[in-house]
């Protein structure tokens, strides 16, 4: 069932359970179960409403769809992103989308993608959402899924922020074939790359790198710590090559192979950084080693490792809204 149909047929999306879990003196997490529009499975999802939310008033609220990491689930502690969304007065949504990436239904599958769209449909149908400001963000496996959703379902998002995400499952499997991550990918995709055409199809359908040329409608913030891949599990090339797919589609200058090589070695640095690489970003709070733009998207390689910085991600998202013509426009500083 398509997202459009899941909105029209609201009987497929219903609140089955609500549990109120206080996470601070001000915030309350509501746990709901949402029925999948594909297989009718009950999928858990946490929702945090803004301070002073009142269904009876006319105010509408932006939405942040936050996505859990590779080996985690809806029960993951995502306190930094929760807190930043709460400060902004946004509705925070944290879906399960089939949990850890260790089975076919998870790891960017079509059904996991639909779970996220079903969660969005539920929130729009249940709460007073500002549909000109629907945001998406995730770290690591959540960064993978953010890039996949922004490229395969671009029309639903005002802006997105993907941190240390995996853009190519085949390449990531090749790096981790003998680790738990390789085992998890094989369990999700049905085997190792090259095992069969059916398996290779799964790797392609779940890898953002093959779809990011379709994401130019969505202002996409791609970021990675320069030490990831050395002290962390996802090399920065996944972020840089993802950006280059957007740059190619937008007719912008890509990050060169030589620049990637220089940054990908331990303690790597650019020899001749551009002016955009020398900027200071107060919301990021880290030294920037590379920052490039294509269309309304950008890539940042910063001093850090396998991590996401919620304040910087929220700062990016808050700059954009969707206008009456359906285009996502920058309403804040670059």
**pLDDT value at position 72?**
98
Asked, for residue 227, whether it belongs to a domain, the answer is yes
Asked, for residue 330, whether it belongs to a domain, the answer is no
Asked, for residue 189, whether it belongs to a domain, the answer is no
**pLDDT value at position 27?**
77
Sign of CA dihedral 36, 41, 42, 46: negative
Residues 187 and 172 sit within 8 Å (Cβ to Cβ): no
**pLDDT value at position 334?**
54
Give me the domain span that covers residue 158: 3-168+207-321
**82 vs 36, 79, 138, 186, 330, CA distance in Å?**
24, 5, 12, 32, 23
Asked, for residue 202, whether it belongs to a domain, the answer is no
Q: How far apart are CA 66 and CA 313, in angstroms?
A: 11
**pLDDT value at position 30?**
96
Asked, for residue 188, whether it belongs to a domain, the answer is no
CB environment 249-284: b (16+ within 10 A), e (fewer): bbebebbeeebbebbbeeebebeeeeeebeeebeeb
**pLDDT value at position 24?**
47
Asked, for residue 158, whether it belongs to a domain, the answer is yes
Counted domains in the chain: 1
Q: How far apart are CA 272 and CA 195, in angstroms?
A: 43
Asked, for residue 155, whether it belongs to a domain, the answer is yes
Asked, for residue 175, whether it belongs to a domain, the answer is no
**pLDDT value at position 156?**
98
**27 vs 52, 96, 152, 311, CA distance in Å?**
10, 20, 32, 18
Residue ranges of the chain with per-residue pLDDT less than 70: 1-26, 334
Residues 192 and 184 sit within 8 Å (Cβ to Cβ): no
Can you give the pTM of this predicted structure? 0.93
- Domain with residue 130: its CATH number is 3.40.50.1820
């Amino acid at each position: 069932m398509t997202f459009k149909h899941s909105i029209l047929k609201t009987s497929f999306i219903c609140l089955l359970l609500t549990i109120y879990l206080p996470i601070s003196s001000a915030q309350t997490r509501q746990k709901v179960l949402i029925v999948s529009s594909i297989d009718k499975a009950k999928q858990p999802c946490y929702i945090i409403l803004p301070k002073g939310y009142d269904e009876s008033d006319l105010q509408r609220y932006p939405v942040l769809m936050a996505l859990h990491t590779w080996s985690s689930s809806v029960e993951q502690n995502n306190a930094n992103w929760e807190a930043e969304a709460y400060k902004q007065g946004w509705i925070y949504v944290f879906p399960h989308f089939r949990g850890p990436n260790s089975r076919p239904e998870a790891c960017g599958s079509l059904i996991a993608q639909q779970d996220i769209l079903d969660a969005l449909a539920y929130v729009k149908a249940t709460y007073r959402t500002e549909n000109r400001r629907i945001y998406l963000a995730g770290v690591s496996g959540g960064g993978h899924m953010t890039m996949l959703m922004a490229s395969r379902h671009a029309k639903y998002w005002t802006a997105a922020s993907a941190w240390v995400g995996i853009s190519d499952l085949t390449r990531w499997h090749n790096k981790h074939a003998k680790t738990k991550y390789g085992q998890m990918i094989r369990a999700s995709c049905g085997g190792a790359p090259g095992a069969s055409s059916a398996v290779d199809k799964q790797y392609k359908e779940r890898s953002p790198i093959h779809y990011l040329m379709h994401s130019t409608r969505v202002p996409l913030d791609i970021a990675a710590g320069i030490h990831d891949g050395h002290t962390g599990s996802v090399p920065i090339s996944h972020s840089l090559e993802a950006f280059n797919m957007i740059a190619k589609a937008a007719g912008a200058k890509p990050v060169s192979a030589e620049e990637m090589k220089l940054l990908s070695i331990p303690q790597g640095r650019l020899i001749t950084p551009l002016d955009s690489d020398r900027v200071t970003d107060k919301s990021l709070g880290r030294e920037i080693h590379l920052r490039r733009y294509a269309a309304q998207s950008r890539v940042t390689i910063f001093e850090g490792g396998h991590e996401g910085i919620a304040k910087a991600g929220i700062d990016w998202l808050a700059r954009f809204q969707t206008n009456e013509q359906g285009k996502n426009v920058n309403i804040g500083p670059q």
